[in-house]
Amino acid sequence: MNSRATLKQARLGVIGLVVLVWTLVPIYHMLVMALTPPKEAHAGQLWPANATLENFETVFRQGHFFLHHFWIQLWNSVFVAVAAALITLLVAATAVFAISRLRLSWGSGVTTLALLTYLIPAAFLAVPMYRTMNQYGLLNTQWALILSVVTFATPYAIWVLKQYADKLPRELEEAARIDGATPLQIFRFVFVPLMAPSLVAIGTYALLLAWNEYLYAFLMLSREQSMTLPVAIGLFLTNDDPPWNILMATGIIYSLPPAAIYYAFRRYMVSGLTAGAVKA
Amino acid sequence: MTTVVQAQGVPQQAVAGPARAPMSPEALWGAMLVLPYLAVFVLFVAYPVAYGLWLGASPANYVRLWNDPIFVRAIVNTLVFLIIAVNLKLFLALLLSGFFLYPYSWVRWISFVFILPWAIPSLVTILSFRWMLNAEWGMINQLIFRLTLDDGPAWLNSPTLALSAVIVVHIWKYLPFWTLILLAGRMAIPAELYESAQIDGANRWQLFRFVTLPGIGNLYVTCTLLSTILSLGDFNSVYLLTGGGPNDTTHVLSTLGIRYAFGLAETGMGVATVIVALPLVIPLVIVMIRRFGRAVEA
């Protein structure tokens, strides 16, 4: 009996090991490259024999042709992500409040529109969206990217938030109504506090969506001063033999904030974001 | 003043059922609060979609597309990518969701590491794969050389190997998300079902076949459909790994559309490339909306 349990543990252990190797190999490769001195980029090392932080220093000093605007581009990424998250939250939360709590008669139609938008692959809409932003005069401004992300984040936000909003008890709202609160006051003082956990999850979702967005960012932003970090990283590839060590160091710096946020809000993210799909 | 007094009576009716009066303050507030979303929808979804359909309307575009071998290749690639990547990914997710069900603490630690690909921007990890697969200096071929003293294949210079690498990269990135979804689905199956089946003498395979599968079968189908739509829009895995190369043999529809519109400045062709996928997208969207609708009613 005991040996059978051990055998089972060992079998599971092998699966666990395979999962770990599969997951970590590209990340390990990133670290090795980022820690290797630039002149050894083509040495094909399996581990960083002469590990150095030189590449990170180059990034922070903006000491490479591709990185002359690193800090402003990092700031651009922060600004776009925060703005997109706040606007998504505002647009989605007010819509859900109207649909779910004020029982808007055409609310289910709005939900269907949102669902329909969620099911359009964003890459498919890129060309007309680019032309549209040009017509609106927003091309090459960060608002083009922010509004694109809001467009693709709000449908999912509405879908997930509505499932939570529909479950809220009505008693608090009714008490507030009897006390003469307007719908706007109910939204502000009853709805938002009760929905706080799912709003955090959705805000984080939109924040990460904006931070990670590459296609729309490189289409909409072509000036080095206004582009976000992923566009700048993509520009490395315009060189036939890009400095991979510096590229990977920049990539690691760019990955740390979303990874940290992700792990910090892991509990909310997993339960909040999987709920939408698991329901179906 | 009288209207205000009347108005305050309305919410109590609204509690009993949807307010019928079209201009009750509740309805007015409701309309005002959905307005921002409707504005986003009209300005950034409805208008671009209509504009796109108009841009891609000329039949001449489709004749030219059909005569372009790169386009035909991209259609085949898209289908291969969808069929293999989506199904392999979800099958692996189904198996792994079983692994992550084990209540050992070391399994929880592995799950902590396992979701890293989901937490890190795909741009960075795809570029890591790209250099790792470099024929001369990449880590994979270095490892092959040290182990076998033979040169490894030129991964990204062969159309078949490059498309396979795209599929691997896509699965690497999205496997954690679908595993978590299926894991949540499995954990929602009541434990009593497993217990009573075990009392009836069911073995592990029978438990899976007669308890797990009926419990998450519907979810699995939904995940497959949803993942098919989402994977159609996976631009990064192809664009950043192979750039459509070698010689434009690994394009999928989403990257080919961008190549026409921005690489070759042929907007109409770029939009038409994407419109070609609508016969696949529209039925999927209809089925998905029905499924989501049922889920909400349940």
Residues of B in contact with A159 (CB under 8 A): 292
Same structural domain, A208 and A144: yes
Range(s) of the domain holding residue A21: 2-52
Instruction: Look up tokens 């592990």; give the residue.
Output: B204
- Written as six digits, the tokens of A110 are 């709005």
Coarse DSSP helix, strand, coil percentages of chain B, rounded to the nearest 5 percent: 80, 0, 20
Q: Looking at CA atoms only, how far is residue A213 from chain B in angstroms? A: 9
A43 and A73 both lie in a single domain: no
**Option in A147, A182, A211 nearest B121 (CB):** A211
Give the single-character DSSP code of A191: I
| Residues A155 and A240 reside in one and the same domain | yes
Q: CB–CB of A134/A71 below 8 Å?
A: no
Number of domains in chain A: 2
CA distance B124 to B28: 47
Tokens of A92: 């989605």
The whole-angstrom separation of Cα A201 and Cα A207 is 10
Q: Containing H/E element for A18? A: helix A2-35
The answer to whether A39 contacts chain B (CB < 8 Å) is no
> Is position A61 within any domain?
no
pTM, two decimal places: 0.90
Same-domain pairing of A21 and A110: no
Q: At A215, give phi and psi (nearest 5°).
A: -55, -55
pLDDT tens track, chain B, 298 positions: 333 333 343 344 444 445 454 567 778 888 899 999 999 999 999 999 999 999 999 999 999 999 999 999 999 999 999 999 999 999 999 999 999 999 889 999 999 999 999 999 999 999 999 999 988 888 888 888 888 888 888 899 999 999 999 999 999 999 999 999 899 889 888 888 988 998 988 888 888 889 999 989 989 999 999 999 999 999 999 999 999 989 999 999 999 999 999 999 999 999 999 999 999 999 999 998 888 777 655 4
CATH of the domain at A218: 1.10.3720.10
Query: What span, in angstroms and rounded, lies between the C-alpha atoms of A24 and A26?
Result: 6
- A138 falls within a domain: yes
| Domain assignment of residue A60, yes or no | no
State whether residue A51 is helix, strand or coil.
coil
Are A131 and A245 in a shared domain? yes
- Taken in order of first residue, the domains within chain B and their CATH numbers are 20-55 (no CATH), 59-297 (1.10.3720.10)
- For testing contact with chain A, the best of B32, B34, B107 (most A CBs within 10 A): B34
Same domain flag for A193 and A161: yes
Same domain, A80 and A44: no
Q: What is the ipTM of this complex?
A: 0.91
Is there a single domain that holds both residue A126 and residue A261? yes
Q: CA B38, CA A249: separation in Å to the nearest integer?
A: 42
Residue with tokens 């630690």: B109
Give the whole-angstrom CA distance, residue A184 versus residue A186: 5
Q: Same domain for A46 and A71?
A: no
A117 in the same domain as A190 = yes
φ, ψ for residue B242, nearest 5 deg: -115, -15
Integer Cα distance of A73 and B73 in angstroms: 37
